[in-house]
């Protein structure tokens, strides 16, 4: 008696993949988090050593925080518009996100001028130095965010971003919202640990 062989066919296992651009942006975000975590811990250690000048944060930094939050809202509205293929709204909201990002940077510069008028400089007491470093590093990353926004705007103008191709706007929105959250964290941190 011969045994019949039974062919068992296994379904191929689905491989989990991540879009390379999403992976890259999350790696970049993680490195930025590590950078600012190291800087804030260095700030706390140096502050505990003494010789620390306390100063009031210029009022313009409060306003710039509100501007950046609005920028994040505009970015989210751009994302919602592209999901519905509302290209006119997409272009308007991504332009507004970009413009308010630029306004934020200008306000940060004006805040630096206010600090200098108050006698707080990059070189001098460590409290002022850290403030310039934190805001400058965030500003540098915001410039890269503006570049990402600019390329997303160009893609929107060419109609390359649409409801069936959301990767670029998702990456852009993720990074832009992260920069907003990072600034709010830094602002609260610097308010609390003066």
33 belongs to a structural domain: no
Residues 10-33 have pLDDT tens digits of: 676 777 677 888 999 999 999 999
| Domain membership flag for residue 74 | yes
Over residues 139-191, the pLDDT tens digits come to: 999 999 999 999 998 998 888 888 888 889 999 999 999 999 999 999 999 88
Is 7 within the bounds of a domain? no
CATH of the domain at 92: 1.20.120.80
Q: What angle do CA 71, 75, 81 make, to 5 degrees?
A: 140
Q: How many residues does the chain have?
A: 194
What is the span of the domain harbouring residue 120?
A: 59-192
Domain count, the chain: 1
Please report whether residue 163 resides in a domain.
yes
Is 136 part of a structural domain of the chain? yes
């Amino acid at each position: 008696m011969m045994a019949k062989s039974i062919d068992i066919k296994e379904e191929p296992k689905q491989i989990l993949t991540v879009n390379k651009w999403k992976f890259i942006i999350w790696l970049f975000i993680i490195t930025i988090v590590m950078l600012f975590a190291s800087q804030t811990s260095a700030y706390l250690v140096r502050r505990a050593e003494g010789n620390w000048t306390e100063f009031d944060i210029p009022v313009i930094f409060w306003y710039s925080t509100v501007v950046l939050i609005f920028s994040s809202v505009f970015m989210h509205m751009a994302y919602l518009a592209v999901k519905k293929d509302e290209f006119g709204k997409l272009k308007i909201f991504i332009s507004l996100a970009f413009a308010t990002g630029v306004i934020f940077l200008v306000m940060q510069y004006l805040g630096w001028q206010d600090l200098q008028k108050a006698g707080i400089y990059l070189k001098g007491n460590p409290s002022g130095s850290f403030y310039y470093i934190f805001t400058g590093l965030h500003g540098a990353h915001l410039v890269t965010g503006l570049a990402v926004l600019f390329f997303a705007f160009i893609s929107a103008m060419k109609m390359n971003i649409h409801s069936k191709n959301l990767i670029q706007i998702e990456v852009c929105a993720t990074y832009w919202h992260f920069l907003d959250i990072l600034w709010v964290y830094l602002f609260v941190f610097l308010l609390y640990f003066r």
